[in-house]
Amino acid sequence: QVQLVESGGGLVQPGGSLRLSCVASGTTFSAYSIYSLNWFRQVPGKQRELVAEIISGNTPNYADAVKGRFTFSTDNAENKMSLEMNSMKSEDTAVYFCNVHTRLGNDFWGQGIQVTVSS
């Protein structure tokens, strides 16, 4: 069973930076069974939206809203994925979730972590 544990959320001022991390156990990111690694976010009353993805070990893809500001990276040795968020805006305020999607169609989620951008 894959377990994902997130850390690094909190309060940041507009224009500031924050780094989220997600450590996985029960699998390795290089396993063939893994199709994609993803970061999602969700605002109350809205659907969860994809922020960034890495499909089959390729270069990351980003939602237009975060392109150029967020960077998605992985450390396969530590089974850790990270989301570096820069030039943050109030509209980045959300609960952020890391996700592993397998080739069999299974989804595993982190517990969710609050990110608040406010002065």
Chunk the chain into consecutive blocks of 10 residues (it has 119) and report each block's average pLDDT, rounded to whole numbers: 94 98 90 93 96 94 98 94 98 98 95 97
Q: What is the pLDDT of residue 31?
A: 85
How far apart, in whole angstroms, are the C-alpha atoms of residue 32 and residue 8?
Answer: 28
Q: Which residues, 6 or more positions from 69, have their beta carbon under 8 angstroms from its beta carbon?
A: 85, 86, 87, 88
Q: What is the pLDDT of residue 1?
A: 84
Q: Can you spell out the DSSP letters for 59-116?
A: --EE-TTTTTTEEEEEETTTTEEEEEE-S--GGG-EEEEEEEEETTS-EEE---EEEE
Structure-token pair, residue 95: 């609960």
Q: What is the pLDDT of residue 74?
A: 96
Whether 39 contacts 96, CB under 8 Å: yes
